[in-house]
Amino acid sequence: MSLMLLLIVAIVALLIIGASVLLLRRAEEDPLAVRIDEFAAREEAVSIEDIELSMPITDRIFVPIVRRISDFVVRFTPQTTLERTARQLELAGNPRNMSAAEFWILRGLSTVVLGVLLFVMMTRNGAEPTKRILWGLGGAALGFYLPAMFLRSMIDRRKQSIIKKLPDALDLMTICVDAGLTFNAAMQKVSEKWDDPLSDEFGRVIYEMQLGKSRRQALKDMSDRTDVPDVTSFIAAVLQAEQLGVGIGKVLRIQSEQMRVRRRQRAEERAQQAPVKMTFPLVFLIFPSIFIVLLGPAGIQVARSEALKGLTG
């Protein structure tokens, strides 16, 4: 029995040693060399046509078409217009990674689609030719301005999100710096903790610094991308403190207090504007409903009594 047990232990030990040797050899191998060997071991070389056929149909057909159209748009669109559109896309965060030419292609498509759609609808309804043309032109105008309106809305929402999150981000950065972290590590903590435009901007600053850009230039670029006065003042204070040698923790503490005061002031300002904004719905929506509920039964009774008097008279 003891001999059998020793034999089993020896076999298990040999298996463990063999597996360890194989794992160590794989760990020492260069993964790039392994990939090269795999491609070299293929019997047939992969041609460019096979690679293109393996791509999705959208990448094979629609992407080249969009690129050709965008080249045409870039050629015949003023450079100032493209730069202004690119600036607006940057302020909106550009979640789709869309170029200025592609945005103008989208505006052109929406113009044609809405114009033709309304024209066809009015034609089916049997409208006069003048009305068809007017409705078609109205749809085209709506399709032209609708993407710009959506882009403007995205810019406003992004700015409001940054303004709302900035005091909390500065509080976290202040705590991190007081705990002994560097300013770069504090920005990294903010980018990891939340998923919002401000955290994305701090993450982009860290990424640009890793690529070799100076912190001063990366922060200035962040100020240009956000176009928020609070962010601009915060970055200016940080850069000035860095230039003068002032402790960054003290600057962050002062800036966080100022941002909280500004947020409270904005809340008070909105509270003071509430009565003015409530005037229109009160006068045109709520008061008429109240009058109908209060005076409606009395009016019905008066009408019935007048009708009864007319019948008896």
Do 150 and 82 have their domain in common?
yes
Per-residue pLDDT at 195: 86
Do 186 and 148 have their domain in common?
no
Q: Is residue 151 part of a domain?
A: yes
Q: Is residue 118 part of a domain?
A: yes
**Token pair of 19 as six digits:** 């597996």
The closest of 181, 203, 183, 184 to 192, measured between CA atoms, is: 203
Range of the domain at 231: 159-273
Q: How far are the Cα atoms of 98, 274, 283 from residue 279, in angstroms, in the given order?
A: 41, 9, 6
**Token pair of 53 as six digits:** 């056929």
Q: Is residue 201 part of a domain?
A: yes
To 10 degrees, what angle do helices 129-178 and 100-124 make?
140
Cα–Cα dist 88/105, whole Å = 16
Do 179 and 254 have their domain in common?
yes
Per-residue pLDDT at 34: 54
Do 182 and 103 have their domain in common?
no
Asked which of 135, 157, 179 is the last residue of a domain, the reply is 157
Contact 173, 187 (CB under 8 A): yes
The closest of 58, 75, 148, 135 to 108, measured between CA atoms, is: 148
Contact 149, 158 (CB under 8 A): no
Cα–Cα dist 213/222, whole Å = 12
In the chain, DSSP finds a helix count (H) and a strand count (E) of 15, 0
Do 252 and 168 have their domain in common?
yes
Q: Is residue 52 part of a domain?
A: no
State CA 297 to chain mean position distance.
53
Asked which of 122, 157, 192 is the last residue of a domain, the reply is 157
Do 171 and 269 have their domain in common?
yes
Do 184 and 145 have their domain in common?
no
**Token pair of 100 as six digits:** 């200025």
Do 206 and 257 have their domain in common?
yes
Do 231 and 151 have their domain in common?
no
Q: Is residue 68 part of a domain?
A: yes
Q: How far are the Cα atoms of 78, 92, 202 from residue 81, in angstroms, in the given order?
A: 5, 17, 29
Give per-10-residue mean pLDDT for the chain (313 aa): 48 50 44 55 56 58 64 72 86 79 81 84 82 86 87 90 88 88 88 88 90 89 88 89 83 86 85 82 79 79 68 54
Do 127 and 184 have their domain in common?
no
Per-residue pLDDT at 100: 81
Do 204 and 241 have their domain in common?
yes
Cα–Cα dist 84/29, whole Å = 51
Do 180 and 250 have their domain in common?
yes
- Any idea what the CATH number is for the domain that residue 254 is in? 1.20.81
Asked which of 157, 188, 217 is the last residue of a domain, the reply is 157
Q: Is residue 106 part of a domain?
A: yes
The closest of 136, 149, 141, 140 to 112, measured between CA atoms, is: 140
Q: How many domains does the chain have?
A: 2
The closest of 151, 162, 157 to 229, measured between CA atoms, is: 162
Q: Is residue 26 part of a domain?
A: no
